Each structure stands twice: as structure tokens, then as C-alpha cells.
Amino acid sequence: MSDKYDVIVIGAGPAGYVAAIRAAQLGLKTACIEKWTNAEGQGVNGGTCLNVGCIPSKALLDSSHKYHETKTDLAPHGIKVADVGIDVKAMIDRKGNIVKQLTDGIAGLFKINGVTSLFGTGKILVGRQVEYTDHDGNKQVLTTENVIIATGSQPINIPVAQVNGNTIIDSTGALELTEIPKRLGVIGAGVIGLELGSVWNRLGSQVVLLEAMDDFLAILDQKIAKDAKKIFAKQGLDIRLSCRVTGSEVEGDEVVVTYQNSDGKDEQETFDKLIVCVGRSPFTEGLLAPDCGVNLDERGFIFVNDQCATNAPGVWAVGDVVRGPMLAHKGSEEGVMVAERIAGQKTQMNYDIIPNVIYTHPEIAAVGKTEEQLKQAGESYNVGVFPFIASGRALAANETDGMVKMIADADTDRILGCHIIGPSAADLVQQIAIAMEFGATAEDIGMTVFSHPTLSEAVHEAALAVNGHAIHIPNRKKRT
């Protein structure tokens, strides 16, 4: 193994493996160090996202949705099904097979593109050197022109509910349950809590989500958030806001959780399993030598500029370990940007247009500014809303919950944001992300011909509604 590289990437999650592949495509001699191991102790690429994050959670979300749909939602279609059951082990095994297929795929892509794959840990030393330690403890100092840090994030643990891997688990443990808990508690009603709570709620768990914040999904446009809370309550999710967990005690196979409710009174709930989903923190443990020159900000993230360069020459950082939303696609695009800048290109990234998705059912997706953000900034804007209940395609599919909300500048009509709760929201919002990248106006979307009948027509109608031109719903303002 050569100890001299053009690029060494530390971390092979979505930010790291994409950076490594793109660097190699550009003719740079590249190595990628990954610490993750599978159940057999073998090194695997993919990081948190592929192994215990985005991919396995979506596999369980899809499996649980199909089960729930078969059990409860097929009657309107005239389909009768009896004796519907769920084999949880088979569901978990399917998830594992998907993970293996994708992680093996990264290994294949590394081989095709000429990336040297190293399993173990990396530590950044002074002078663009990396101390590589393999899983057997053998150390080697590698030299390189550039280092890309892509070490990702880890679940935040809280003292009042310490994860024990049995009754109290984190998001990773929630993906490995082999039995359906009768009573499931979730601390945190954010993206991860809602997705995992949805999985086990569909399978039959009584799910209670304890959220310390006063507002539900405060990061979202609040019209969408309020609609989402109503829909989730209808599905059986018990979401309790302004509830601060103050303690937990394991009693046999149960865990008793004490929390302070919105009135300031102490209450208790007993669960068979408790999932702690209070957020994630950047992972930098053992990564930085004291004199390496890489600085952390006040929140523990690696400090970088707009092009993801750190204070240390030749050292870059991307993904969850730096500022900005912890989203796999944000990290991947940062990885591409950095690889291309190392190769001499002037690639930039538009941080104003990063879609965000919650993979509940219905899905929630957003891009751009919320109405609350625009109000706070004092900007003038117009809003168009179109409900899926007025969509012929949504009615045909019996998927009528939710809406599309479009926001455009009052003077220029340029699209400032799009917020969707409804069927295929994750895919629909991408249409507007592309439009925003090209500076499109609501009128531009309104003048575009959309196929009929499609869910995309809801996006079209919302754009028309911005200027009072919607066809299939009453307009809020006079048509001109």
C-alpha cells in the first residue's frame, strides 16, 4: 500500500464515498478510510446513512406501510384481505439485505474508480499527514496533498434516559427490534422520532412521542406542520408537546418515564421500549491531533468556509460534521464540490436550495423559505395553496391528505419556497428545487404543461394560485 495520496477521505458515508469517487474520477490518487464494521466484524462502507440511517429506516417505513395499507386501506378499492400478518424477522432481514446490496455496491464503485479502500480509523496530524489505524491496531502514517473529513454524526445521549441497548434504545436499536412493543415511547418528535414512531405504530404499537419544544416541527412552514400533526393524530400517534423528560427507571422489562407536562406538572408513563431521538452531534472523537490546525466552532462542528475548507491548509470537511442541515444529500453535494475544487474547478454550492424530507405517510417535503421566515425578514410575498383532495389523481389513489403550498416574491414572482405534505411529496418538491435553481417564477410553473392526471398537477395549481389563477379551486384573490 502506497503511503502517498492526492486525497485521503476519512469517512465513507454519503459525503465521504461520493467525495472519494469524484476525486478519483478527476484523476486524483484517492484513499478512503472507514471505521464501520458489520455484524460479522467486516469493514463496510456507507457510514450511518446506509448501515443504520436513511436506507434501513426507509426499508422499514415501506414494509410497515405496505402492511398497514393491506390491513386497513384496501377496502375502498374493493379489495378484501383476511388474516393479514407481519413477520417482523423477515422484515428486518429484508432491510439487512438491502443494506448489504448497497454497501457492496460502494465497494464495487471504489474498485471501478480506483479508490483505495482502508478500514479502520484516521487521525489528522500536522502537515497534511493522516495516522491510519486498521481494525487490528496496526498504525501507519500516510501523506497526502488534501484531506477530506467526512466523519458524520452520532445520536445524542441524554442523562435522564441513558441508552442501555435493551429497554432504552437509540435510533440504531430501533431498526433492529424483532418484536413489536405493545407500548413504545419516543423522546423527541422530530424527523427521526416521527419516522421510527410511524414504523412501529403501523405494526401495532401504542406510540407516545414526548417533545420538549412548544411548537411541532418548528423547522417547517407552520401551515404544513399543523396539518401534519392532525394527520398523525388520526393515524394514532400520540404527540405531546412541551413535555420535558426528567427521568427514567428500568423496572424489569419495562421503563418508567417521568416528564413535566405543558402545565408544569410531573407525569409518568410506562413503556416496553423507549427510543431516544433528541438529535445528533458531529463525530470528531479521536480525529484531530492538537496541533493539526483544524478548529471547531462553539457547537462542536468543524469550522469551514463556504467552500468547506478548514483553517488548516489542504484540509476540508463536509457533511454532518460541518454547519448546516444534517442531510445526506447536502453532504454528498459538498463532497462533489470539494473534490472538484481540489482538482482546480470553481464549483460552488447553493445552500439556499436544499430540499428537506420527512418520510412519514404522507411524506413531508420542503425547499426554500417558510412563510414564518419571510414574515420575520419583512419580505413581501404571495402564497398559493392547493389541497390534494382536489386532485383527481390523488382521489383515484385514495391519497387525499395534505396540500402543496407555494410562496413567491410579491414583486418579482420568483419562487421563494415550496412546502408539501402529501403523496410523493419528496419527488414533487424536487421539481420546484430545480425551478428555483434556474430562478423560475410562479408564472413560469403555471405556464408549463403538466401531464394529466398526475400528482404533479397539484404543484401546477399551487403555482397558479399564487397569482389568483388556479382553475380547480376557488382563488383567494381576484383573477386578472
**H/E segment holding residue 143:** strand 139-149
Which of 55, 10, 51, 58 minimizes the C-alpha distance to 34? 10
Pair 424, 455: CB distance under 8 Å:
yes
3-class state of residue 456 by DSSP:
helix
Kindly state the cell numbers that stand for 110.
471504489
What does each C-alpha distance from 115 to 44, 109, 321 come to in angstroms? Answer: 14, 8, 22
Q: For the chain, how many helices (H) and strands (E)?
A: 13, 21
Contacts (Cβ under 8 Å, ≥6 apart) of 255: 167, 168, 185, 248, 249, 270, 271, 272, 273, 274
Q: What is the Cα–Cα distance from 467 to 13, expressed in whole angstroms?
A: 43
Torsion 457-458-461-462 (CA) sign: negative
Residue 91 carries which side chain, given as an amino acid letter? M
- For residue 100, what is the enclosing H or E element? helix 88-113
CA distance 475 to 470: 6
Q: Give, in degrees to the nearest 5, the angle at Cα 65 between 62 and 71.
A: 145
Rounded to an integer, what distance in angstroms lies between the CA atom of residue 57 and that of residue 59? 5
Contact between 29 and 9 under an 8 Å Cβ cutoff? The reply is no
Tell me if 390 sits within 8 A of 379, measured CB to CB. no
460 given a catalytic annotation: no
Are 115 and 30 in contact, with CB atoms under 8 Å apart? yes
- 329, 419, 452, 472: the catalytic one is 452
The arrangement of strands across the sheet holding 356-358 comes to 356-358, 363-368, 415-422, 403-409, 381-387
Q: At what angle do helices 328-342 and 14-25 cross, to 10 degrees?
A: 30
Coil, strand or helix at 314: coil
Which residues are annotated as catalytic?
Answer: 452
